[in-house]
């Protein structure tokens, strides 16, 4: 089977933070705040349920799915691997345990798998476009993630082969228009950022023109983001910036963002662009369809 993940045919759960399992507990507590009325109907008899993949995509979310059911006293046996290409209708896993416990975890697990796999699938398609066009830069997500679900969405990006960009506000210093306007100038904003970020954190500045990019680089920015540029204007601006500062002995990364989608990203590929970031990798992404079916009594 083809794998989309950089770690071929392997889960990335060893990247997860120590407290990730508490997030699963919170999901289950949110879904059943009081009584499980439907669970009363089915009882605690041991049964088996099958996870079916019903649409094409990349499988992502295996450790989260497994943990949901393990917290409910069930066991999961997987027949597909993280990052594997799904060919519907495909048997992905068996879940064994008390029927009530399986049904408690069903919707939470399916919701997570559908979204995580959807993000991984889009990341994988973007990576294929990158390779097809010979683009040497990075395709990344953004911080446009769902509150409380960021870890899963960023995980899906990694499984699909995309860069996560910033995990959070503490991961690199990005100065956007509101930071600059509130501080008074790009130079002042960068100087203040350098004073607290020290040598360990890179600084990126959102820029609307070559002049703003030059000011940011002169002030000490490591990355400039050309925001909402289109077509040839983007490529010309990026090329000018790289060439101008290379002549001065400065290597700077150029990122473009704003309005980039899977449908138009090929128009952004060029040698002067180092990073292309897409909020659409997590916003409005299509889900992968899964279902979990309890086996009927003989």
Q: In what order do the strands lie in the sheet with 138-140?
A: 138-140, 275-277, 253-257, 223-227, 203-207, 173-175
Between β-strands 90-98 and 203-207, what pairing exists: parallel, antiparallel or unpaired?
unpaired
Rounded Cα distance, 267 and 55, in Å: 29
Q: Residue 120's CB: how many other CB atoms inside 10 A?
A: 31
Rounded to the nearest angstrom, the gap between the alpha carbon of residue 70 and the centroid of all alpha carbons in its chain is: 25
Whether residue 102 contacts residue 47, with contact meaning beta carbons closer than 8 Å, is answered with yes
Contact (Cβ atoms closer than 8 angstroms) between residue 72 and residue 44: no
Q: Which of 225, 178, 227, 175 is nearest to 201 (CA)?
A: 175
Candidates 29, 185, 10; CA nearest to 105 is: 29
CB distance 201 to 173 below 8 Å: yes
Catalytic residue among 21, 81, 144, 192: 144
Q: Which residues pair with 227 in a beta bridge?
A: 257
Which residues face 58 on adjacent strands?
85
Cβ(190)–Cβ(175) under 8 Å? yes
Answer yes or no: are the C-beta atoms of 246 and 256 closer than 8 Å.
Answer: no
Check if the beta carbon of residue 159 is closer than 8 Å to that of residue 58: yes
User: Would you call 192 helix, strand, or coil by DSSP?
Assistant: helix
Confirm whether 144 is a catalytic residue. yes
Which residues does the annotation mark as catalytic?
144
């Amino acid at each position: 089977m083809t794998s989309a993940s950089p770690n071929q045919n392997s889960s990335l759960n060893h990247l997860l933070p120590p407290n990730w399992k508490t997030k699963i507990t919170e999901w289950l507590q949110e879904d059943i705040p009081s009584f499980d009325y439907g669970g009363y109907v089915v009882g605690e008899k041991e049964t088996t349920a099958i996870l079916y993949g019903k649409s094409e995509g990349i499988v992502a979310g295996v450790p989260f799915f497994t943990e949901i059911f393990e917290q409910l006293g069930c066991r999961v046996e997987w027949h597909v691997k993280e990052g594997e290409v799904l060919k519907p209708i495909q048997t992905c896993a068996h879940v064994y345990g008390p029927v009530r416990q399986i049904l408690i975890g069903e919707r939470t697990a399916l919701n997570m798998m559908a979204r995580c796999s959807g993000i991984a699938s889009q990341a994988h398609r973007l990576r294929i476009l990158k390779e097809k066009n010979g683009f040497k830069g990075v395709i990344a997500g953004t911080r446009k993630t769902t509150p409380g679900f960021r870890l899963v969405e960023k995980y899906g990006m990694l499984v699909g082969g995309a860069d996560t960009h910033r995990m959070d506000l503490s991961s690199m210093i990005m100065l956007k228009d509101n930071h600059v306007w509130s501080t008074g100038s790009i130079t002042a904003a960068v100087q203040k950022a350098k004073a607290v970020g020290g040598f360990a954190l890179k600084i990126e500045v959102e820029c609307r023109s070559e002049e703003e990019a030059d000011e940011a680089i002169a002030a000490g920015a490591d990355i400039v983001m050309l925001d909402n540029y289109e077509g040839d204007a983007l490529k010309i601006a990026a090329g000018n910036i790289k060439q101008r500062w290379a002549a001065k002995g400065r290597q700077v990364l150029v990122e473009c963002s704003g309005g980039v989608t899977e449908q138009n990203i090929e128009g952004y590929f060029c040698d002067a662009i180092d990073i292309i970031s897409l909020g659409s990798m997590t916003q409005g992404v299509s889900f992968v369809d899964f279902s979990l079916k309890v086996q009927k009594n003989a």
